[in-house]
A and B are shown apart, each in its own frame.
Chain A
Amino acid sequence: MSAITSPARQASSGLGAKTINRIVIYGLLALFAIFYLMPLFVMLVTSFKTMDEIQNGNMLSLPHAPTFAPWVKAWSEVCSGLTCVGMKGYFWNSIKMVVPAVLISTLLGALNGYVLTKWRFRGHTLVFAMMLFACFIPFQSVLLPMATILGSLGRFGVTLQNATGFNFGLGNSTVNLVFVHVVYGLGFTTLFFRNYYEAFPTELIKAAQVDGASFFQIFRRIMLPNSLPIIVVTVIYQFTNIWNDFLFASAYAGSGDVMPMTVALNNVVNTSTGVVEYNVNMAAAMIAALPTLIVYVVAGRYFVRGLMAGAVKG
């Protein structure tokens, strides 16, 4: 280590010590890389093996005869409890929940951030602080009241259905989850946009105002076109969080064909009827992991930035 950080000492220490240092550093880094990759690797190779090979072979060996059968079965046949229809329906449930929830919470976050930085009013810090604290509460402390409210809305939806033939989405699990994720995601999206717009030159806004631009015109013509990086960060952050959520999903859509992916995966893995097909379970886990992994691979830098922004409110 010393050889690298202190060029002054480099000359005095021999080449041997320097090389050994480098080997130790690279060795340690490689070891940790193995530690982090191992579970994913095992999951991946297992999902391509036959059950026979899993029972008789080594966990770490590559599949002798790679087969897609476990993936096909996980997608379209695997059992969650007594229902054997595969993960595909639950996958779409998650998509139908994630897309609107991300879009709505991002748009509202952008508007809130815009107001809280460029149209400040007395008490704006308090409003922001209250929304910010909401990001950090343990959701257990709102879980039960929300369940009660969603239950009543569902009953009201049935009444409406009977009266008008249309329930306006009340009582629909996907609509419920979208609502819940928008409400409890607002704090973070507002935080992201507020911090980003804080650094946005106010002179531009002023100039536009002098020219007679309205509140929404400024937002649409000036703020939004300059917000691409923070939009990407927010969308990725919200997408990952909502896709990966388990607590709300299990509380408000915990069974039946309305389950999102995470709940379905947990049920599949814990379904104990018949022989446990580990390869199918691992394929199902991979299917649940793929969307967020792909986002991470494609836009990793923004993903990290979002995490950091959520952590360091600087």
Chain B
Amino acid sequence: MSTVAETQIKLTPEHDARPGASVRSRLQDLLPKIVLAPSFAATIVFVYGFILWTIYLSFTNSKTFPSYAITGARAYQRLWRWTFESDPPSSWYTSITNMGIFGFLYILICLALGLFLAILLDQKIRGEGMLRPIYLYPMALSFIVTGVAWKWFLDPGLGLEQTLHQWGWTSFHFDWIKNKDFVIYTVVIAGVWQASGFIMAMFLAGLRGIDGEIMKAAQIDGASTFQLYRRIVIPMLRPVFLSAFIVLAHLAIKSYDLVVALTSGGPGGSAWLPSNFMYEFTFKRNEMAVGSASAVIMLMTITAIIVPYLYSELREKSR
């Protein structure tokens, strides 16, 4: 694995008997570690240390200010109780239900649309160089800008509905953004708009990496285009599906800004995701312990998705 390091040990001059030279060469040996140390220490303290701190807080009775007396898993018990409080829905129930709806649709539509566009673009399209950046630019925008743009576009009095009314389709009705039962779907629309182009780029790179010989052989065997994609191309894109899924799942769980900018939380907090729940309970509702517990649950969810993936990636590479 690390042939480099082994050869380097040999290359480093033999330690001198003189004390001055020995100190210097030992310092040279240590230098790489000294250079890496601040970054590693920062990661240990500000990532792993802070995670432990958050876990600790979730077992206390912290309200507006942190309190450091452990009082048990009360915060988790409350979240657990709220999980089943559907009528009227608790904020936590709304947040995790929304997470389910948003996560499922966002990932599914992005994957489907991304793959579809990539296949279309892979048909030797003239002007591909112009189309690709058009599909992809939303990824360069912040969620706040995306939210502001779509808020305007979906506003019943100003945007799409109003425009279609002016064009004569007066029965057209689209007020999801103001409707507490549908507002989460507008978050899906804006989210898909932002990320699907990037997923397209991932699939396109995958398609371009497929050996043309295999495609030709299948065609000679008489496979139709549909069969070719279904049976050969799409199965070969499996690694891309996995990467795209990881990226999207990760983006979905972290989504916070988009809900804030697009819906301001929706009518009565009806568009909240767990990230919004965490922020509101920690910083606005003075329920620090509950907010921390929800952050821990978010972290565990992402860990369950990411760690197996990273583990397999790193193992594969070190082989």
Contact = CB atoms under 8 A, between A and B. Distances in A.
Given A2-B225, A143-B295, A292 B57 contact: no
A142 B121 contact: no
A45 B39 CA distance: 46
A198 B264 CA distance: 45
Interface stretch (A65-73, A76-84, A155-163, A301-309): A301-309
B87 to A, nearest CB: 28
A293 to B, nearest CB: 6
Contacts of A246: 142-144, 256-257, 260-261
B36 A112 contact: yes
A174 to B, nearest CB: 18
B135 A32 contact: yes
Interface residues of A, number: 105
A265 B4 CA distance: 50
A144 B43 contact: no
Contacts of B163: 58-60
B11 A209 contact: yes
Contact of B310 (A59, A133, A297, A311): A133
B145 A4 contact: no
A29 B132 CA distance: 10
Contact of A140 (B250, B279, B314): B279
B109 interface: no
A186 B43 contact: yes
Interface of A: 1-2, 4-9, 25-26, 28-29, 32-33, 35-40, 42-43, 46, 54, 58-60, 108, 111-112, 115-121, 124-125, 127-134, 136-146, 148, 183-184, 186-187, 190, 202, 205-206, 209-210, 214-216, 240, 243-247, 250-251, 262, 265-266, 269-270, 278, 281-282, 285, 288-289, 292-293, 295-297, 300, 303-304, 307-308, 311-314
Contact of B140 (A9, A111, A240, A311): A240
Contacts of B224: 2, 6
B208 interface: no
Interface in B246-286: 246-247, 250, 253-254, 256-257, 260-261, 264, 275, 278-279, 282-283
The residue in B120, B149, B243 that gathers the most chain A C-beta atoms within 10 A of its C-beta is B149
A148 B288 CA distance: 12
Contacts, number: 287
Contacts of B3: 202
A38 B152 CA distance: 12
Given A137-B51, A265-B148, 13 more contacts: A36-B193, A36-B197, A111-B35, A121-B33, A130-B48, A145-B54, A184-B47, A209-B11, A245-B142, A285-B149, A307-B198, A311-B243, A311-B246
Interface stretch (B71-79, B88-96, B175-183, B299-307): B299-307
B217 to A, nearest CB: 11
A142 B46 contact: yes
Given A141-B296, A141-B299, A262-B144, A278 B158 contact: yes
A186 B44 CA distance: 12
B137 A296 contact: yes
B66 interface: yes
Contact of B7 (A29, A206, A295): A206
A36 B138 contact: yes
Contact of B39 (A4, A9, A112): A112
A144 B288 contact: yes
Nearest to A291: B140
Interface string B1-37: 1111101100100000000000000001001110110
Contact of B4 (A117, A131, A285, A307): A117
A312 B313 CA distance: 9
B274 to A, nearest CB: 8
A105 B2 CA distance: 26
A282 to B, nearest CB: 7
Contacts of A4: 123-124
Contacts of A29: 117, 120-121, 125, 131
23 contacts: A1-B123, A2-B225, A8-B220, A29-B125, A39-B153, A43-B148, A111-B35, A112-B35, A118-B4, A119-B32, A124-B5, A131-B43, A132-B314, A138-B275, A141-B295, A143-B295, A144-B288, A247-B279, A262-B144, A281-B152, A293-B140, A295-B140, A311-B244
Given A112-B39, A136-B306, A285-B145, A247 B314 contact: no
Contacts of B162: 59
B51 A141 contact: yes
Contact of B166 (A58, A125, A133, A137): A58
A80 B257 CA distance: 18
B314 A129 contact: yes
A127 B134 contact: no
Given A29-B120, A138-B298, A183-B42, A311 B36 contact: no
Interface in B191-240: 193, 197-198, 201-202, 205, 215, 219-220, 224-225, 228, 240
A35 B193 contact: yes
A313 B50 CA distance: 26
